[in-house]
Structure 1
Amino acid sequence: MQIQRETIAEAEARAHRSTAEQTIADIARFLQDTFSQRVAAFIAGVEDPKQVGRWAKGQNAPRFDSEFRLRTAFNVFTLIADYENQHIARAWMMGMNPQLDDDSPIEAIASGHLKEVMAAARSFRRGDL
């Protein structure tokens, strides 16, 4: 019997649903645990890494643009991790990416290049890179 891999569209829909179902506290905590509080703050565009800890504890919520970047990072990470594994997803997020002018996906998200990061993740899923 042949195992059929899910399509990219199905994987994206599942990653999107997973992202939508998470509270921002859950996402902040996940990114803090996966990358570090400092890196999560960088992604969110805030100077004080302790702010991420406050978000993770539900003490307050980030501004819209910070939440948008955090949710995008979580969504992309989930898309890669569900296809490969969390170790590969973490390495992919942190590594230089030729589709992003050798920035890492984390740097690109922090710089606001969210659609470009999603396009790079789709390419990775297809096996283009």
Structure 2
Amino acid sequence: MTGVAGGTRSRDRSRYDKAHAQATRLDFSDVAQFLSESLGGKLTAFIAGVDAKTVHRWTSGDGQRPRDAHEQRLRAAFQIFQLLQAMESPHTVRAWFMGMNPQLDDASPAEALADDRHRDAMAAARAFVQGG
């Protein structure tokens, strides 16, 4: 049994590491673009704590830099999206971001990220990946 559990943990760790590497290496404008296309501009703006026009400026690559808090929120959202997308369809992942989540006291993961509860949102994503 230990080999099976160890193998599962190893695969999970690999998915987490890959999602982290993607979120870290990708240029911020590409992160914003991906999330805007995958989640929609309004939901991306909500997570970041800005208006949709600001997200559009970030995706256009006009050189406007986000505040650190905005970038942290979107990089966390991107990392979580990548983790979930390895197991689920983009439609399911978008629904997961918007829906009430029991791991987050029925707040949505988007709300948790907007409130800078990145670790809580990641824990909820991991629980979802593991079948919870």
TM-score (norm 2): 0.88
Q: CA deviation at 1:85?
A: 2.2
RMSD over aligned Cα atoms = 1.4
1:56, distance to aligned residue in structure 2 (A): 0.5
Structure 2 residue aligned with 1:88: 92
After TM superposition, the runs of 4+ consecutive aligned structure 1 residues lying more than 4 A away are none
Partner of residue 55, structure 1: 58
CA distance in structure 2 between the aligned counterparts of 1:41 and 1:92, rounded to whole angstroms: 17
Q: Which residue of 1 aligns with 2:41?
A: 37
What is the one-letter code of the residue matched to 1:110? A
- Structure 1 segment 1-129 matched on structure 2, within 5 A: 7-46=11-50, 48-59=51-62, 60-127=64-131, 129=132
Contact 2:97/2:108 (<8 A) preserved? yes
Q: CA deviation at 1:95?
A: 1.1
Q: How many residues align?
A: 124
Richer in helix (by share)? 2
Per-residue Cα deviation, 1:10-60 (whole angstroms, up to 9, x for no partner): 1100111111221110111111112222211111111x2101011001111
In the alignment, is the contact (CA less than 8 A) between 2:30 and 2:59 conserved in 1? yes
Contact 2:104 2:112 in 1 (8 A): yes
Taking the aligned partners of 1:15 and 1:31, their CA distance within structure 2 comes to: 14
- Contact 2:31 2:75 (8 Å CA) reproduced: yes
1:123 to partner: Cα distance: 0.8
Unmatched runs of 5 consecutive residues or more in structure 2: 1-6
CA distance in 2, matches of 1:84, 1:34: 13
Secondary structure at the counterpart of residue 93 of structure 2: helix
What amino acid maps onto 2:60 in structure 1? K
* Structure 1 residues without counterparts, runs of 5 or longer: none
In the alignment, the residues of structure 2 paired with residue 35 and residue 15 of structure 1 have an alpha-carbon distance, to the nearest angstrom, of: 17
